[in-house]
Structure 1
Amino acid sequence: MTNDVTSAISGASAGGDPPGGDGPPRPSWLRRVALRVRDASVGAWTITLLLLADLVTVLGAGAIWLTLGGDPTVVGVVAGALLAFAAAMLPLIGRRGPDGQPPLWPPFVLVVIPLAVLAVGVPASGTWMFLESRPVDVTHRVELDAAPPLKDGDTVIASVHTDDPEPRLTIAFDVAQHDPAAPVCVPGTELTVTSRLGARKGQVHQGTPGTEFTFALGRGTTDVELSVRIDAEPGCELDLSVASAQLDD
């Protein structure tokens, strides 16, 4: 018993925590990360690399944003604000606290800015690329210049304008009896479709109604015009419509 009491008193006098006592509170995870960043960024060359990473990330993301059609004013304000915030941290890095230690948060901010830009920019770029790779449906934007009924040898002009130019058009036409009570003559109908505009004009495709015709348009084409010639049985009266039309790359 005497030996146990003596050991406890000796431990307390040596600076140990008393049995059952609580130690100092554990710092939060964010503060622990900031401490690691501060310890790792000791030295001017590390701060220089962090600042360079900020410049490359922010300016590179701004350039990509502009290329994808971002508003120049919004891009400039966001990029300028991020760079100004990073620059404001630099004078604070050289200071020392009352305990002689470097400041905790400025180096952490220089690391967080490029990480935040990448965390937002990479998913946004991936989403934009996915949406841009999808075909643009223009089925309901194709205009036909002829009024039914159409007969053998008639030619219809199909035109479409788009603000989302893609280098290829895939289109299919459908025909139906103008008079449902008339003898059926649709199965013997054929279509000859010819491109009429642009550097790739003169492309010709033939097929039955419902066939998908693909035309190479070239980059930047916003107006497409096709002539559709109908070859049907004599006396057959038809209605022509667009079954599907899409632009893609």
Structure 2
Amino acid sequence: MTGRLGDNGDVYNNPTAHGDHSIAANDIRNVIIKWVMHPSARWLPLLLACAALVIAGTNWPDGPARQYTLWGTLAALSLGTAAARVLGRRPRDARVVGVLSLVSVLATVGGWLAFRHVSTHGEIDVTGQVRTEGGQPLDGAGHRALALRLDASALAKPRNALRLTLAIADHEPAGPTCLPDTSATLSLLTSGAAAQSKEIRPGGTAEFSLGAGVRSVRIDVRLHTARGCRMDVHATGAVLYDA
């Protein structure tokens, strides 16, 4: 409060800006406390956390479990704090109730954002959708090439890179192994993507940049092995991701 001298010598008190702000802050704080402490409000964080889990479950993307670590941690935190808020039927300290509610809501929002990031940019395992064109076994002479394809269904969620792992095994396991003398050249032949070639050993992994808007992927595989060797080639891993 500040004072000013009137015409008659009287002192009049006026609220300062600081006082007005303090009163407004106290009013807001009291409203929040009343709302947080209301019995019906204890269910809201839990309902919000459960709704986020249900939506995530119905829109679950593919890919390795490790990329969901942050989402899982935040989801567990949101459910745990929301459950603690519900179980505290007669809380005595408004600060504890407020912290539990706030942590639960923030964890729910953070977990949802983490989930959306994985859904939009995370890795997608498409190993089972790799289609092989060409007969096997392959050799190092007249029959040493085949093609691997990913069609539009596998590329429904756009990513700009592909990580491909190939297994190359002896067609006749009982005979002498040809693996030490075997390799393969992988060539990306896809419209809209730059031509790329990678050479890998058996069990090796090659990474290709796909660019944007690719609707199909074709990778030609050319086997290099010793004379008289016959080999089987198949994809053991194919992952789409954003580089």
Normalised by the length of structure 2, the TM-score is 0.52
CA pair 37-215 structure 1, distance change in 2 beyond 3 A: same
Q: How many angstroms apart in 2 are the aligned matches of 1:179 and 1:228?
A: 20
2:163–2:239 contact (8 Å) kept in structure 1? yes
Aligned to 1:158: 148
Aligned to 1:136: 124
Q: How far off its partner does 1:144 sit? A: 1.0
2:123–2:240 contact (8 Å) kept in structure 1? yes
Correspondence for 1:241 among 227, 234, 242: 234
Q: How far off its partner does 1:205 sit? A: 0.8
Normalised by the length of structure 1, the TM-score is 0.51
The one-letter code matched in structure 2 to 1:219 is: A
Q: How far off its partner does 1:183 sit? A: 2.1
Q: How far off its partner does 1:33 sit? A: 7.8
Aligned to 2:165: 172
| Segments of 4+ moved more than 6 angstroms | 32-35, 117-120
Counterparts of 1:191-210 in structure 2 under 5 Å?
191-210=184-203
Correspondence for 2:218 among 197, 209, 225: 225
The one-letter code matched in structure 2 to 1:141 is: Q
Aligned to 1:126: 114
Q: How far off its partner does 1:35 sit? A: 8.4
SS state of the match for residue 235, structure 1?
A: coil
Q: How far off its partner does 1:120 sit? A: 6.3
Q: How far off its partner does 1:128 sit? A: 1.1
Unpaired runs of at least 5, structure 2: 1-25, 33-58, 60-104
Q: How many angstroms apart in 2 are the aligned matches of 1:138 and 1:209?
A: 20
The structure with the largest strand share of the pair is: 2
The one-letter code matched in structure 2 to 1:238 is: M
Q: How many angstroms apart in 1 are the aligned matches of 2:210 and 2:187?
A: 12
CA pair 236-124 structure 1, distance change in 2 beyond 3 A: same
Q: How far off its partner does 1:180 sit? A: 1.7
2:192–2:214 contact (8 Å) kept in structure 1? no
Q: How many angstroms apart in 1 are the aligned matches of 2:27 and 2:228?
A: 83
1:198–1:217 contact (8 Å) kept in structure 2? no
Correspondence for 2:133 among 142, 145, 148: 145
Q: How many angstroms apart in 1 are the aligned matches of 2:126 and 2:172?
A: 28
1:170–1:246 contact (8 Å) kept in structure 2? yes
Q: How far off its partner does 1:146 sit? A: 1.8
SS state of the match for residue 148, structure 2?
A: strand
The one-letter code matched in structure 2 to 1:183 is: P
Number of aligned positions between the proteins: 145
Q: How many angstroms apart in 1 are the aligned matches of 2:115 and 2:27?
A: 30
Unpaired runs of at least 5, structure 1: 1-31, 39-68, 70-116
SS state of the match for residue 157, structure 2?
A: coil
Counterparts of 1:25-36 in structure 2 under 5 Å?
36=30
Q: Report % sequence identity.
A: 26
CA pair 235-128 structure 1, distance change in 2 beyond 3 A: same
Q: How many angstroms apart in 2 are the aligned matches of 1:214 and 1:177?
A: 24
Q: How many angstroms apart in 1 are the aligned matches of 2:124 and 2:206?
A: 16
Q: How many angstroms apart in 2 are the aligned matches of 1:119 and 1:172?
A: 37
SS state of the match for residue 174, structure 1?
A: strand
Q: How far off its partner does 1:34 sit? A: 7.5
CA radius of gyration, larger in: 1
- Residues 221-249 of structure 1, C-alpha deviations (whole Å, 9 max, x = no match): 23111000001111111111112110111
CA pair 143-36 structure 1, distance change in 2 beyond 3 A: same
The one-letter code matched in structure 1 to 2:131 is: E
CA pair 126-223 structure 1, distance change in 2 beyond 3 A: same
